[in-house]
Structure 1
Amino acid sequence: MNKTALPKTQQQHYTKIVFLLIFMIIQLLSAGSILNAQKPKTSEILWDKYGVPHVYGKTTAEMYYGYGWAQMRNHANLMLKLYGQARGRAAEFWGEEYLHSDQVVHLFELKKHAVQEYKAQSPLYKSYLDAFVAGANAYAKAHPEAIQSDRKAVLPISPYDVLAHTKSMIYLKFLAYSDLIMPEKLVAQPGSNAMAISPSKSAAKHAMLMANPHLMWSDSFTFFEAQLNAPEYSTYGVSLVGTCTQIIAFNDHLGWTHTVNTIDAADRYELSLSDGGYLLDGATKPFLKRTDTIGVRQKDGSLKLEILEFKYAVHGPVLEEKNGKAYALRMAGMDNHQLLQQYHLMGKAKNWKEFETAEKMLQIPMFNVIYADQAGNIHYLFGGNVPIRSSGDFTFWNGLIDGTQSKYIWQKTHPYKDLPKLFNPSTGFVQNCNDAPWISTYPAQLNPLDFPAYMAPQEMGLRAQRAVNLVKNNPSITFVQLVAYKLNTGMEAADRFLPALLSAVKNTPDSTMANAAKVLNSWDKQTENTSKGAVLFAAWFDQLKPEMYAKAWDIKNPVSTPSGFKDDQQILLLFKAAIAEVQQKYGSIEIAWGDICRFSKDEIDYAANGGPGEYGIFRTIYYKGITPDKEQAYFGDSYVAVTEFGPKVRAKVSLSYGNASQAGIKQYDQLKMMSDKQLRDALLDRKEVLQHLEEREVYLP
């Protein structure tokens, strides 16, 4: 074949095109390209200015290694304390104040459960768990200066520490907390707000998810925020410090959150003692007994050994004995061995089918699940291991159970198909604020009569009613509006009961009450930091009792009851007492909410907004007294994530107390954002992260 040479100018033109194509290919393969944004050539952690690690692993195992390193960097001393407690050796390390927690750990044999759980892991997931532990130990070895001297005794940590700590948190701090005899009691129980909006109710026609757990702002309830990336895995979310998988998260396709549900999966039995044992069905049965030796560090540094005896009935571990009775605790799901693996698979899921497959494992013994995805699906599940019981309603099983009859000792739990759930309800939204599952959307689509009477109570608090009332009449919710709903500081209690109070005051000649009524008339019914009247209203509302309402809560009118009062004179007496209390304590009944309630930490101090959920406040914050006239936020809105699943996922987030408990870790002041009612953009793309980069760490596992 004859070849015809191209003109020189045309050759130069094609040469330029070839070089341009080569250049473009090189650029696409470079770290700056979108294609390669999540696949760096080395495993690395990019720390943004908010103290959030963006972990990029060449493999999933390397990702988990980086996650262990990152957690230890930001929370080393807290993690080691939690692992020391999970071993049941905290009193040995740090003194008698930890003796009770050690006793509980030994009673429930958390180390034994951890060993069994580790053996039960799949080889693949076991490699991820091992990698997390290796990363945490590597950081501690590389940075001994970051570890307090009294924490070093815990090193090195083991996979058993992680598993025992996770078991302790889920079962002892959440599932059975109210049934255990603990030396400290929380003012508020762990809780959350959650909401999912379907495309039919979304202005942009994209599903949206609101995640908002409410936990104590310290110690074992501390959240750790991170982005985790590997070739087959990418999530953004939070874990509890010391646990190795994210428990609330989203990825490019879907997301989920939890709320503490009204599940009763832990029962406290009263046993009658008899001849050194206990009565069961008219016969005396012996306790199973064992002893453990616990070391207790003395103030002079010496170690005192204590031999403790633990007893077990067929019901479960014996918590205490008194007045001829013993009290045993039975918990569902204690032998679940795949909890962490289930969370990993939820995070790995790319669609509803894959997510539900993971969800059906039911390895997580409690928690509601609220879900949304890019395909437009939304979902609610009353999750957990609900015991199959022969009889009795929720009130019966939520009380003290007769342990002398074996018919009350349940053996099995309900499968996934039995649990209350919704998928794409016609109402266009699902919500949960620690209320029972029945009003998870509105109008209700779940009937409690279709489920066993012990499944959940029939009740709905004012905070959950606030959630429904915020969204039910809005047919086209924008992303900005959903963020605003999350930050809403209004009192549902004020909307419901203030008109009746003001009406009652009109009929009395008392000038003190009349002047106070003017304050409440001018009040915005919010708990903004400038709101004047909120303190007075709260002081009055705190005195109300359910029997005072004219209409009790009614499942047929779930978001407008209770309402009214039986006796106006009674509520006026309470109002007069509230006026005197506020005047005496603060010097004025017009004190602003933020003058009393503060977001403070170390030297930082800002006016706060939001308040307790019992008032029906969606911006849920609990306070404790720090001075006679000042209260400090310590519990409530912890992590917030509002996510829209459009063609490109976007999210607004915050972590109230910041992402590090270690001294010397630089991080952005998020309490100021709390005071200003602001959320920040979640940095999801590597280019965005690099624009807000604080530090880059390259690691080689």
Structure 2
Amino acid sequence: MRKWLGRAGFALLIVVLAGFVALTSWEPFWAKRSDVRLSDTAYSAEIIRDEFGVPHIYGDTDPDVSYGVAIAHAEDDFTTLQDVVAMARGRYGAIAGQDGAAIDYVFHLLDARGTAERNYPELPADTRALFEAYATGLNDYARQHPDEVKLANLFPVDGTDVAAGFALRQPFFFGLNGVIEPLVNGEPLRPEFGPPTPATNGSAPSANDGPAASGAQETAQSRPFPLPWGEMGALSGSNAFAIAPEKSGDGVTRLVSNSHQPLRGGVAWYELVVESGEGWHYAGANFPGSPYPFLGHNRDLGWTNTVNRPDMVDVYKLVMDESGTKYRMGERWLDLEEESVTLPVRVGPLVLPISRTVYRSVHGPVIRNDNGTFAFRYGGIDNIGQLDAYYRLNKAKTLDEWQAILARMDIPSTNFIYADKVGNIAYVYNAAMPERAKGYDWRSVLPGDDPKAIWTQPVAYETLPKYVNPASGWLFNSNNTPFIAAGTGSDLPESSVAPEMGVELKQTNRSRRAWKLMSQPGMIDRERLEAIKYDMGYEREGYVADLWDALETLDVPEAGALGQARQLLLGWDFSADGKGRGDALALLMIREFMSAEYQNKPLPDAREQLQASVDHLTTHFGRIDPPMGELLRLRQGDVDLPLDGGSDTLRASTLWDVQEDGRLSVKHGDSFVQFVEWEQGKRVRSQSIQPYGSATTRPRSPHYADQAPLFVQHRLKPVHFWREDVLANAARRYTVSHNPDRK
């Protein structure tokens, strides 16, 4: 008997070990593909790195340069590039566990791969050549550095894989996560543009059970269902400024890009300069997974972007039959498309295969919850024309050519602020908003059985809000309504746009400050423009007014810690410059109110928030009024520097991690900053800065955080746009190449 039990135990152990081995090794074999279309083209690029490690990439052809972009970026941040590739292949859960699996679920839900496969072959041949070269660069780097590869069989990839990453990421810039997340969790959708619940001074805020709407956005801190690029979707911001020569005081046309993005990860900026023998010459920044910059300038013109929040998503409740497999559309019953997908989910050393089912209808992706079966449809669905549009924008030479590319409506969203060498400035509220029929409440859940409620195309470009050379001589955007952009007498009226388009009407503190500062009399010269960009003030309007109104009526003992904190805030100077006694306390209070207002959530309870802020400061600093620079930090490796600015100031420090010592390590806010200038009779010049450096995931690199001291001092570094300047400031120069015949 004992012998039999011993044999059974041994057999069980073998089974357990076999299962363990299977769960640690199945995923790469499951993911191995034979359909990768490898390029048979040879590529060669020269990479010159300047004193800050920024790559300047040269090639005879545009694909040569694109190949070099992939190599240079991989040298600086291959870990993030792999994350992006894994997302674009539905394998991120094998790297990042449950959070990664949520992204993989959305990858399948949106049919990102199918979108790429259907549309990639229709792109122009030269655009596809760019993406094939970029994919080849990633493959070559992975092959040459196998010890850095996170996931077996992640490479090789091809242009379709890179395109799938674009199809997955773009909808989250206009807040698609704010629809998917509550639908998955069976929660009410909140209206994007409605007023927030007022702040209270002691009673709990009421829940907002508003109707379904587009673009409602969530914080990373409170999501039970993690979503891709959640922080970006929740609190992305940016500022953009353009000054015409007649307003600049010295005849110089100026463009300022001041993006607010996560400082690390898949939507963190990477600076580069590209130049080819085919006329491609551009200085700017891209995201991991892109063969070209998304913003910056060429010789003749430049642009920058800010996230806008148009009503781009519509939700439909489907009428299902008793079997739950068919839905009604007009007089017909259609089969609900159903696909079973496997999500790899890493748990420690194991990768578990989790099966999920995704659904689709003629409307688009479908999500089932306890409240019913819902479909959603969003602007730019099943379109990857942006892959070609950004490439063409990089090479545009005139305002007319640039606008003609935007007019294709291939780039689903983001505001564009523009300037050029002949003195034009412009602002386009770019959004492929659906051309919706009249007679529906597009902010509510729509009838899923009405075929007339399904739109098929975007509105015409001519109907979008836009400005070209306003009389004021200046333009700006700070993630606010496009009807506040150019000053009194130049701003567009709200009535210029049909209400069913869903153009946002909100302002931010940054927009109130920018409009006020730029509207003051006189020229906006370089010095004044820099002061505006680095402004750290708050206006007592909107959610800031709600907070201070609540503080004024808050009933707390004056002698206690809450009373002292309240008095400190009531006497605050409304500037997050790190000089006032109340700056640290105000920083903690405003952040939560700004977050709630931006996302149309109920505003926090003022007493509870004040208590939490006081507790944090007294616990970690022993006082309620520490210098803000001791609280707010820019940290990267051994670099630990004081920061200024706050949530929703023009000098933005928006999101942070609370670390063990109680300091706030900023992870989202001012990121890539670029000043571009065209002076009459002279070549374009520019300056830029990033919070860390060009090699943010390479601790041994001298460029891991070498820009940080300049960044915290509000200083810029030169952009070496012209080759002779690059050579004069070269720290390293080398050639990378691909020979398809090489074994």
Give the TM-score taking structure 1 as reference length.
0.81
CA deviation vs aligned residue, 1:661-697 (integer Å, no higher than 9, x gap): 4434331522222222222121222233233322111
3-state SS of paired residue (1:645): strand
CA contact (8 A) 2:585 2:614 kept: no
CA contact (8 A) 2:174 2:309 kept: no
CA deviation vs aligned residue, 1:227-279 (integer Å, no higher than 9, x gap): 00113111000111111221112011110011111212122333344311466
Question: Relative to 1, partners in 2 of residues 1:308 and 1:423: Cα closer, same or farther, differing over 3 Å?
Answer: same
Structure 1 unmatched runs, 5+: 1-41, 549-570
Alignment of 1:533-612 (within 5 A): 533-538=582-587, 584-585=618-619, 586-612=621-647
Deviation of the 1:88 alpha carbon: 1.2
Alignment of 1:336-347 (within 5 A): 336-347=383-394
3-state SS of paired residue (1:153): coil
Alignment of 1:311-390 (within 5 A): 311-323=359-371, 325-390=372-437
Alignment of 1:15-414 (within 5 A): 43-91=45-93, 98-145=100-147, 147-148=148-149, 150-172=150-172, 174-181=174-181, 182-184=225-227, 185-186=230-231, 188-231=234-277, 232-275=279-322, 276-277=324-325, 280=328, 285-294=333-342, 296=344, 305-323=353-371, 325-391=372-438, 397-414=442-459
**One-letter amino acid matched to 1:448:** E
Q: Hey, what does 1:690 align to over in structure 2?
A: 727
3-state SS of paired residue (1:221): coil
3-state SS of paired residue (2:63): helix
3-state SS of paired residue (2:369): strand
Give the Cα separation in 2 of the matches to 1:499 and 1:436.
Answer: 22
Deviation of the 1:48 alpha carbon: 1.6
CA deviation vs aligned residue, 1:150-204 (integer Å, no higher than 9, x gap): 3342111211121011111112454512212242553942221111111121011
Q: Hey, what does 1:32 align to over in structure 2?
A: none
**Which shows bigger deviation, 99-108 or 285-294?**
285-294
Q: Hey, what does 1:627 align to over in structure 2?
A: 660
**Which shows bigger deviation, 356-365 or 274-283?**
274-283
Alignment of 1:399-438 (within 5 A): 399-438=444-483
Q: Hey, what does 2:185 align to over in structure 1?
A: none
**One-letter amino acid matched to 2:235:** Q
Question: Relative to 1, partners in 2 of residues 1:545 and 1:429: Cα closer, same or farther, differing over 3 Å?
Answer: closer
Give the Cα separation in 1 of the matches to 2:87 and 2:273.
Answer: 28
- 2:672 is the counterpart of 1:639: yes
**One-letter amino acid matched to 2:135:** V
Give the one of 686, 695, 698 matched to 1:651: 686
Give the Cα separation in 2 of the matches to 1:300 and 1:259.
Answer: 39
CA contact (8 A) 2:644 2:653 kept: no
Deviation of the 1:581 alpha carbon: 5.3
Question: Relative to 1, partners in 2 of residues 1:192 and 1:287: Cα closer, same or farther, differing over 3 Å?
Answer: farther
Deviation of the 1:359 alpha carbon: 1.8
Give the Cα separation in 2 of the matches to 1:295 and 1:536.
Answer: 43
Give the Cα separation in 2 of the matches to 1:95 and 1:535.
Answer: 35
CA contact (8 A) 2:101 2:345 kept: no
Q: Hey, what does 2:485 align to over in structure 1?
A: 440
Deviation of the 1:648 alpha carbon: 2.2
Deviation of the 1:387 alpha carbon: 0.7
Deviation of the 1:410 alpha carbon: 2.0
Give the Cα separation in 2 of the matches to 1:516 and 1:77.
Answer: 44
Deviation of the 1:654 alpha carbon: 1.1
Give the Cα separation in 1 of the matches to 2:112 and 2:68.
Answer: 27
**One-letter amino acid matched to 2:456:** Q
CA contact (8 A) 1:608 1:674 kept: no
Q: Hey, what does 1:532 align to over in structure 2?
A: 581
Deviation of the 1:89 alpha carbon: 2.7
Deviation of the 1:391 alpha carbon: 3.1
Deviation of the 1:523 alpha carbon: 5.7
Question: Relative to 1, partners in 2 of residues 1:340 and 1:581: Cα closer, same or farther, differing over 3 Å?
Answer: same
CA deviation vs aligned residue, 1:486-526 (integer Å, no higher than 9, x gap): 22222234998699879979x99957799768856986543
3-state SS of paired residue (2:151): helix
Deviation of the 1:432 alpha carbon: 0.9
CA contact (8 A) 1:536 1:578 kept: no
Question: Relative to 1, partners in 2 of residues 1:631 and 1:402: Cα closer, same or farther, differing over 3 Å?
Answer: farther
CA deviation vs aligned residue, 1:342-382 (integer Å, no higher than 9, x gap): 11111111221221122222210111111001100000111
CA deviation vs aligned residue, 1:551-587 (integer Å, no higher than 9, x gap): xxxxxxxxxxxxxxxxxxxx99899869955764543
CA contact (8 A) 1:74 1:662 kept: yes
Q: Hey, what does 1:678 align to over in structure 2?
A: 715
**One-letter amino acid matched to 1:45:** I
CA contact (8 A) 2:345 2:354 kept: no
Deviation of the 1:280 alpha carbon: 4.4
Deviation of the 1:283 alpha carbon: 5.8
Give the TM-score taking structure 2 as reference length.
0.77
CA contact (8 A) 2:576 2:587 kept: no
CA contact (8 A) 1:202 1:475 kept: no
Give the Cα separation in 2 of the matches to 1:684 and 1:528.
Answer: 33
Structure 2 unmatched runs, 5+: 1-43, 182-224, 598-604, 739-743
**One-letter amino acid matched to 1:411:** T
CA deviation vs aligned residue, 1:412-442 (integer Å, no higher than 9, x gap): 2111111111100101111111111111211
Question: Relative to 1, partners in 2 of residues 1:436 and 1:304: Cα closer, same or farther, differing over 3 Å?
Answer: same
CA deviation vs aligned residue, 1:61-120 (integer Å, no higher than 9, x gap): 211121121122212222122112211133456756533322221222211211223201
Aligned length, in residue pairs? 632
Identity of aligned residues (%): 25
Give the Cα separation in 2 of the matches to 1:177 and 1:251.
Answer: 34
Q: Hey, what does 2:36 align to over in structure 1?
A: none
Question: Relative to 1, partners in 2 of residues 1:436 and 1:96: Cα closer, same or farther, differing over 3 Å?
Answer: closer
CA contact (8 A) 2:84 2:165 kept: yes
CA contact (8 A) 2:85 2:154 kept: yes
**One-letter amino acid matched to 2:577:** E
3-state SS of paired residue (2:374): strand
CA contact (8 A) 1:362 1:416 kept: yes
RMSD: 3.6
Bigger Cα Rg? 1
**One-letter amino acid matched to 1:485:** I
- 2:701 is the counterpart of 1:665: yes
Deviation of the 1:336 alpha carbon: 2.4
**Which shows bigger deviation, 365-374 or 657-666?**
657-666
Give the Cα separation in 2 of the matches to 1:168 and 1:110.
Answer: 5
**Which shows bigger deviation, 658-667 or 162-171?**
658-667
Give the Cα separation in 1 of the matches to 2:624 and 2:272.
Answer: 44
Q: Hey, what does 1:559 align to over in structure 2?
A: none
CA contact (8 A) 1:294 1:308 kept: yes
Give the Cα separation in 2 of the matches to 1:374 and 1:360.
Answer: 22
Give the Cα separation in 1 of the matches to 2:439 and 2:714.
Answer: 45
3-state SS of paired residue (1:439): coil
Give the Cα separation in 2 of the matches to 1:417 and 1:573.
Answer: 49
CA contact (8 A) 1:516 1:579 kept: no
Q: Hey, what does 2:184 align to over in structure 1?
A: none
3-state SS of paired residue (1:202): coil
Deviation of the 1:602 alpha carbon: 2.3
Question: Relative to 1, partners in 2 of residues 1:371 and 1:622: Cα closer, same or farther, differing over 3 Å?
Answer: same
Give the Cα separation in 1 of the matches to 2:119 and 2:735.
Answer: 32
